[in-house]
Structures are given as C-alpha cells and as structure tokens.
Amino acid sequence: MDSSKGIIPPESEAPEACDNGQGAPLNSRDFDLWSSEDFIRAIDNLYDQKGDVYNIDLLLARVLNDQQKAHAYLRAKAHADIPKTLQVMSRLGPSAINHLMILYDTKPEALNLLKTLSLILTPSNTCIGEKQSMSEVNDEVCQHAPFIDYYLTVAALLLQRYDFDFHDFEPLLTIIVHQRRAPSLLPPLHAKYGVQLEKFLSTLIDSLLKNAYLDARQLLSVINILQGLYLSAATFCTDVFVSGQFQSTALRHFFDNDEVTLAILTLMGTACLDEIAKKYIAENCADELRRSLTVDNLECKAATTLVMLKALDFAKLKGPAAVDMAGALAQGFGRNGGITYDGLAIEGLAYLSLKMPVKTYLSCEPRLLNQLVAYLKMEEVPSSMYYGVLVIFGNVSDSLSLQTREQAMMQKLKAQVSYKSADEKDNIGSWNGKTVAEFCSEWIIDKGLIGVVIVHVKKFGVQTMGPRLQLLRIIYNVTRERGAVSSSVKQGCVVFLLESLAISSLPAELRIMALRSLARILTVMDPSLVFQKYSALNALPLLFEMVPHPDSTGSEVVEKMDTYESLLALTNLATLAESDTICHKISTTPEYWIKIENLLLDPVVSLQRSTIELLSNFMATSLHLAAKFFNFDNPKSVRNFGVLVKLLDLDDRQSQLGVAAIFANIACSVPFIAQELAQQPELVQNALRVFSEQCEDRELRRRLIVLFDALVSSNPSSIALAGNKQMLFSSLERARKFEAGTSSDYLVAIDNMLAVKL
C-alpha cells in the first residue's frame, strides 16, 4: 500500500456528495461531507487494508482533531490491538508518529506501547527467556523486521517524552542488542541513564563475550554496542575495547570471515577517537593490520588503511607511503567495492589529501575525481560520504600561497627539522599556485560544483552544517584565483556567503574565510553585476568586520591584507547607483566612521592610501561625507580637516593624489565649501608648497589647478590667498609652461586666475 495514500469506504457506501469522479476525497473539503460512520468505516478499512486509496494522513488528522466519536473508536481499537496499530502506523511512515503519540498520550499508555515494542521485536513473538540460546534468537527473522527502524524511532520518542525507569527499557534493549539494532537508541539512553546503562551493558557484554568464544555473532553484537556508543561514552567503550576478554575474543575471530574482519576494523577506526584506544591499537595490533592488507576483500583493505591513518603518527607519514595508500584506496573506488568501500575510501582520502604529494596525485586521477563529482551530484548519498568528498576537494584546492609571510617562514623552519623525504619536498614544490588554479578551474568551476553543493545545502537545511563549512573553504580557495571569481558568482556563491555569515554559530576560522571570499569577489567584480537582486548594504557590516577598531588589541586572525581588500571592496561600492545610501550609512554609523578616521593615520602605506581612495571616490558621488571634514562649526570636523590638510604632504604619491582629488572635487562641486576653504591659511599654504615643489607631476598639478581655480573663483578677496599671492602666481606661471602647447581647460583656468586681482 502506498504510504502517501489510504483507504475509503467501498464506493457503494461512501457518501455520494464526496465522490470526485475518482471515488476518493482529495482534500479537507471532501472530508467535510463525511459522517462519523464514514470515518469509522474508513478506520476499519485502514486496519483491514481494504477499499480505495485516499489521503490517510489527513484522515487521521481529522479523526484525532475534529471527530470525537471516530477518535474514541480509533483510540479503543488502538489500545485493543497495539501490535496491529503499530503495523498500520508504520506503513504510513514518519508522518504518522505524532498520530501514534496522541493515541497513547498518558504515561501508563505509553509504557504499554513500549512493552509491546519489546514483545513484537522478539523473534516469533517469543521471549528470549524461552529460547535455548541467544544464537537461536539471532537465527530467526522477526515478522516485524520491515518496520524495526520505525519502531526504534517510536521508542526514542517515548524515551524523550516520558521519565520511565531504566528497567522498562531493558527488555527492548536486550532484544535489539542481539539483533544488532542498538546503535540508534544507545546515545539517547546513555544521555538519560548513563550509569545504569553502562552497568546493564557491562553485564550483557560479559555474557556475550563468554558465548562469543565459539560464536562470532556474539562478538558482532558487542562490536555493534561499542560502535553505537563510542561518541557518547568513549571511556566506557575504551575500557571494554582494551580489556583482555574483548581483545582475546576479537583476535580469535579476526579473520573468520569478511563480515567479522570488517566489523573489527571499523570499530578500531572509531576507537581511535580516544587516545588510550588509539595508542593501544598502534602498539598491539600491527600484525593484524598488516595481514588485513593482504585479504581479498576491498572493504577490509580500505578499513585497514583508515585505521593505520588514524592510529599511527600521521605527521611522520612519508610522501611516497601516503601516495601508495591513496593509490590503494583509489584503485577499487567506484568499481566492485560498492558504496561501503567507497565510503571508507573517501574517509581515508580525506585524511591523506592533507599531504602535498597526495594532492598532486589526486589532481592527476580523472577517473577518481569524476567518481567523486558524481557522488556530489547524486540525489541521495550518506551524509558522511558527501562531507568526506567535500573535504577532499577542500584540501586539494588549498594553496600554499594562502599563508602569510610569517606562516610561510614558520613552515620553512618546520620543514628543516621535519621527517619529510626529498621526494616529498619535491612534490611540495610542484604543488603551486598554477596547479591549484588549474585544478579549481577543471574540477570545481567547470563541473559546477559550487552550485551543485549550494542546492544540496539548501535542500537539507540544518542537517548540512558540515557540507556548508567545507563549501566555504572551497569558495575561499577558488576565489583566490582572479579568473575564477566571475564563474563562482554565477553559481550563486555570493548569496551563499551572505547566508552563511548570518549564522551566529559559524566557526571563527570559517567566518574569516567567508569574509575574505566576499571582499575578494567585490574587489575583482563589478559590484553592479553582483548586487542585481539585493542591496549592497547587506555587505557593508561584513566588509567593515575586517577593518580594525582603534581600541582593539589586534587580531591574530584578521591580517593587513584582509583590511586592504575590504577597503578596496568598499571603494568599488562607490560605483553603484545606491552609492549615496551607502555613503550615508558609513558616515552615520559610529562604528564604521571611527575605523575610517583611524585608518587615515595608519602607518601602513597601503591601508592609508586605500582609505584616502575610498573617501575620494565616495565624496565624488555623495556629499554625506563632506560634513565629516568641511563643517567648520563642528570641532570633530575641524580636526578631520586638519588631518586631511597634513596628508597633502604624504610621501606616497598615490595617497597624495587622492587627498588632492578630495579637495579639488569638493571645492568645484560645492561653492560655499570652496569659499570656506579659501579662508583656511594652512590649506592654502600647504597646497601652494606642494603645487610649487611638485609642479612637474602632471596628475597632481592638474588637481591642484582645479582646487585653486575653485578657491579663487569663489572668494577672490580671501586673505589667505592674498597673503600668498606671489607664491600662487609664480606657481601658476610655472604650471602654465608645463601646460603650454595644449588647448586644455587647465590652461584656460590658469589664465583666468592670473587675470584676477587678489
């Protein structure tokens, strides 16, 4: 029976008014025409699996919420035959669990439901106590087997909603342990009954290991327990794992068959999460691991490689050995090993791809890379595999050039005392910015992986934080290459970055990567192409996040280059149609403006220059910033004006040109400000000195010509100008010689000024 549909009363009995031509109601309005008897008849047919199909989920919602008589009838039926009710509800899928909880909504009723779950999960509905041995239990097939996962979901929900005694769960736990179905229920049980659960499991594990001497299936049950509980109770699991009883039993059965071998190896890989277990494996299991590499089963070989990677000192793994291990994992990938093998191989390659020689190897394996790309494009892939593939792409696309100079120096010093072989050092040299760019272009950009993963993340929402973080790494790596930025934007990376940066729990390291990516994109791209559907104001607080506050003690994460690129990105926003709004936001937000003021005096030339350029560009299109420098009734503005005047003397030519442009633009565009500027002796004197001393600099000369033309035109009677008349005229005469032979407006302006009587 289709889980999305259900049953209605036979057509001859159904109300004529609700017949929609197909004999089935499609929506709530159709059910409005049903009587209580119709709903009751539908419930009977649902239990008996008779009649035509219709929307069962809606039917149950109407019965439980709107139909008092039918609700009572369904509740009575549910309590009279709990096993049947569980079967009926399980066929409807997860959506029916809430309906089930309503039918058993008191603690005694819920306890009956829990006890029934234990009974029906017992093979042939026979209690374990009536069996001759536990092996008989494992041999039988429970008639409810198709619904076990559903039943365990119900049990987990009961565990969450009610405070039962731990012994109420013991029968169910005993059954699912022997059926190796326990992992999903063990973590929530441990969270609620930690000590009691560990005591119960200790006794059960002891019994299983005694029986496991002759029956490896009992060992598999123990492994299943530890596998499910390791993340929640590492100390307890490690105590069992390193115990003599478990180890002797595991060694006895290690190579009985592929199932046992793979189970033990998988547990060893998980156990490496705990340092004690990891050390035990490294010191005591080398022979078994070496032998495991010789078995024919590809999954066992992959699992062995993974254990060796986790248990041994990864830092000491030499380049050639790492490449050999990667090659062994890649050999069976996407072939006969199946998805289990591929999952193990992906996890192993995720570790190995941290090694430079392995990056080089993987970038030259198109068959493997195509298989990895195919997994990312599949509709349904185990989440751990999907995440692992992204880790591989994130590692391989990571460039050495991303290091700061300080980091590069430290890396060089470490390399001198490291265990790297000559071969590995050569491989590191071959993995450079060019090869990284080629890999990113061919395997990330051209394959459309950014867009593919964005769709995946949006589809699965909160379940995909891991893939989201890895994609942020990949976007960061890809956007380091200027030529890849445009394609990344087309695949939707900007919106993805903005959405990710809105997540408060985003790890600091990934946040700075996302901020750098955004700044890089807005530095390289025309912002009008980026912000077509939303406002650039969304990016403003993010870009300023990488501009240091004057009161901060300094950040180990934000570097000078981050601030520099953020300033360039902010400057580019001045080209947008909404630049006036952006400028107003910057000038009226104290947190932003104090950072700008601080950077005007920054000792790092590139930062000071970029800040001046930002102000110059915004002031050319908006007057909001003018009040911050040219409001002579405001002490703060007067102070900023004084700073700007002094900056005309900067040694850095580009910064000097930027300051001159600020004065020239504001003077010729706002006459009343020009009048005020003409009365500022410090500005007139500084500008004249620069004009005189650097008159041969064409760009600087012409900007100062524009400035003085505006000052003279707006206020020819200025005392400041009159007091420096001789120097002004001599500088203008000199400038005229440089401009002679041209018909430029600058020559006209010079002649006009020389004709004025100051």
Cα 64 to the center of its chain, rounded Å = 41
Residue 479 reports pLDDT greater than 90: yes
- Return the sign of the alpha-carbon dihedral for residues 380, 382, 384, 388: negative
Distance in angstroms between the alpha carbons of the first and the last residue of the chain: 100
Instruction: Name which of 741, 734, 731, 742 is nearest 708 in CA terms.
Output: 731
Distance, in Å, from the CA atom of 428 to the CA atom of 477, rounded to the nearest integer, reads 17
Task: Report which of 314, 453, 309 is spatially closest to residue 391, judged by C-alpha positions.
Answer: 453
> What is the band of 423 on the pLDDT scale with cuts at 50, 70, 90?
very low
Q: Is pLDDT above 70 for 25?
A: no
What's the mean per-residue pLDDT of the chain? Answer: 85
52 bridge partner residues? 8
**Angle (CA) 378 384 385, round 5°:** 45
Helix (H) or strand (E) segment spanning residue 508: helix 508-524
Round to whole Å and give the CA distance between 112 and 325: 53
d(C-alpha 200, C-alpha 165), whole Å: 13
Read off the DSSP letter of residue 548. P
Element of type H or E holding 272? none
Sign of the torsion formed by the C-alpha atoms of 462, 463, 469 and 471: negative
Give the number of C-alpha atoms closer than 13 A to the C-alpha of residue 695, restricted to the C-beta side: 18
Averaged pLDDT, 404-426 = 43
Sign (positive or negative) of CA dihedral 433, 435, 437, 443: negative
Kindly tell me if the per-residue pLDDT of 1 is higher than 90.
no
**pLDDT tens digits, one per residue of 669-713:** 999 999 999 999 999 999 999 999 999 999 999 999 999 999 999
Each residue's pLDDT tens digit, 196-246: 999 999 999 999 999 998 889 999 999 999 999 999 999 999 999 999 999
Which ranges in 92-185 belong to alpha helices (H)? Answer: 97-103, 107-121, 134-139, 148-161, 170-178
Report the alpha-carbon angle 542-543-545, nearest 5: 65
501-506 long-range contacts (CB < 8 A, ≥24 apart) are 501/542, 506/469
Residues 45 and 8: beta-carbon distance below 8 Å: yes
Domain ranges of the chain: 540-609+618-625, 636-758
pLDDT digits (tens, 9 = 90+) for 566-577: 999 999 999 999
Res 401: pLDDT = 43
Q: Give me the pLDDT at residue 129, please.
A: 38
Instruction: For residue range 172-199, list pLDDT tens digits in order.
Output: 888 888 888 878 889 999 999 999 999 9
Dihedral, 638, 644, 646, 652 alpha carbons, nearest 10: 170
* Structure tokens, 333: 């990938």
Query: What kind and span of H or E run contains 367?
Result: helix 366-377
Which phi and psi (to 5°) does residue 8 adopt?
A: -120, 165
Check if the beta carbon of residue 621 is closer than 8 Å to that of residue 577. no
Q: What is the pLDDT of residues 314-346, one digit of tens each?
A: 777 888 889 989 998 998 888 766 888 899 999
**Residue 176 CA: distances (Å) to CA of 161, 168, 182, 270, 427:** 21, 14, 5, 21, 51
Query: pLDDT class for 122, splitting at 50, 70, 90?
Result: confident
DSSP string for 409-470: HHHHHHHHTS---HHHHHHHHHS-HHHHHHHIIIIIITTTHHHHHHHHHHHHGGGGHHHHHH
Phi then psi dihedrals of residue 52, to 5 deg:
-85, 180
SS (H, E, C) 550-594: CCCCCCCCCCHHHHHHHHHHHHHHHHCCCHHHHHHHHHHCHHHHH
Angle at the Cα of 169 from the Cα atoms of 165 and 170, rounded to 5 degrees: 110
Q: In this model, does residue 2 exceed pLDDT 50?
A: no
Q: Quote the CA–CA distance of 271 and 602 in Å, as a whole number.
A: 52
Closest CA to 152 of 167, 169, 137: 169
pLDDT at position 11 is 40
Q: Which helix (H) or strand (E) holds 250?
A: helix 244-253
Q: Is 264 exposed, middle or buried (0-12, 13-18, 19+ CB in 10 A)?
A: buried
Distance separating alpha carbons of residues 390 and 392, to the nearest angstrom: 5
Whether 590 has a pLDDT exceeding 80, the answer reads yes
- Indicate if the pLDDT at residue 74 is higher than 80: yes
For residue 51, what pLDDT is reported? 58
Helix 319-331 × helix 338-352 angle, to 10°: 160
pTM for the predicted model, two decimal places: 0.77
Residue 97 in contact with residue 154, Cβ under 8 Å?
A: yes
Q: At what angle do helices 298-311 and 338-352 cross, to 10 degrees?
A: 30
Instruction: Write out pLDDT tens, residues 638-664.
Output: 999 999 999 999 999 999 999 999 999
Q: Rounded CA gap, 448 and 468, in Å?
A: 16
How far from 684 is each of 137, 426, 591, CA to CA, in Å? Answer: 99, 61, 32
Cα 592-560-650 angle, rounded to 5 deg: 80
Q: What is the C-alpha separation between 232 and 187, in angstroms, rounded?
A: 6
pLDDT for residue 274: 94
What is d(CA 98, CA 105) in angstroms, rounded to the nearest whole number? 10
Q: Among 182, 271, 267, 255, which Cα is nearest to 216's?
A: 255
Q: What are 709's two structure tokens?
A: 């033309």
Whether the per-residue pLDDT at 526 is higher than 50: the answer is: yes
pLDDT of the residue at 518? 97
pLDDT band of 597, cuts 50, 70, 90:
very high
